[in-house]
Amino acid sequence: MRPVPEVTVLAHSAIRIQGPKTVYVDPFHLTAAPHDADLICVTHDHYDHLSPDDIARVAGPDTWFALPETCLEAARKAGLPEERLLLMSPGEHLTWQGIVIEAVPAYNVGKQFHTQDKAWLGYVIEMLGRRYYIAGDTDDNEDVRRVRCHVALLPVGGKYTMTAEEAAALANAIRPGVAVPTHYGDIVGQSRDAETFARLLDPRIRCDFGK
C-alpha cells in the first residue's frame, strides 16, 4: 500500500502537504524555518497569503512557486525567482514533477474582498492519487461546487470568506472523504467556527483539524 501524504494546518491558511514532494500553500506566521519546500503555492497577494518573510522560512534554493498570473508583479516585489514561477489562471491544469496542480477560481459572492475579476485561486493538488483541495479565500459558488477531491481544506472564519455554516454546506455538496477547517483563529474566526463546521458535516465526511 502506498503511503498517504500528510496534511498539516500550520496557522491561519498555511498548509503543508508532505508526500514524495513537500508542498506549502500560503505560508504565514511560521515559527520554524525548515527550508524544505519543493513547491510553494500562493492563492493571492494579500499579506496573509503572500508573505515574503514566511516564504523565505520554507523556501530553498530549488523551490518552485505556483501563483495566479495576476500576481506576477507581487511575486516580483517579493523577490520570487521568475524562472521558477508557475503562473496559473482559473481552470488551468499542469503537471509539475509528478504532481498535478489544478487552479480553481476563488472569489466572494456578495462582498468585495476577493472579486472574481482578480482571477485569484484555490488549488487541487494531486499527489499519489490523492486529491487535496485548498480553497483559498472564497465563498461557496458555482465554480467551487465542481471540485472533486479526497480532502477539502475550507475557510470557515467568515467576513472575508465562507462562514462555518457555508463551508459545511459546500463540503456536504462536494463530499470529500475528509474535510479540514482553515482561516480561523488568527485574523478572523475562532475555534468555535471550526467546531460548528465539524458539527454540521455530513456524518459520512470525517473532520480533521490538520494539527
pLDDT digits (tens, 9 = 90+) for 43-102: 999 999 999 999 999 999 999 999 999 999 999 999 999 999 999 999 999 999 999 999
The domains of the chain, with CATH numbers, are: 6-204 (3.60.15.10)
How many CB atoms are closer than 10 A to CB 179?
Answer: 27
H-helix segments, 109-176? 164-174
Residue position matching grid coordinates 468585495:
112
- Whether the model pTM is above 0.85: yes
Average pLDDT of the chain, as a whole number: 95
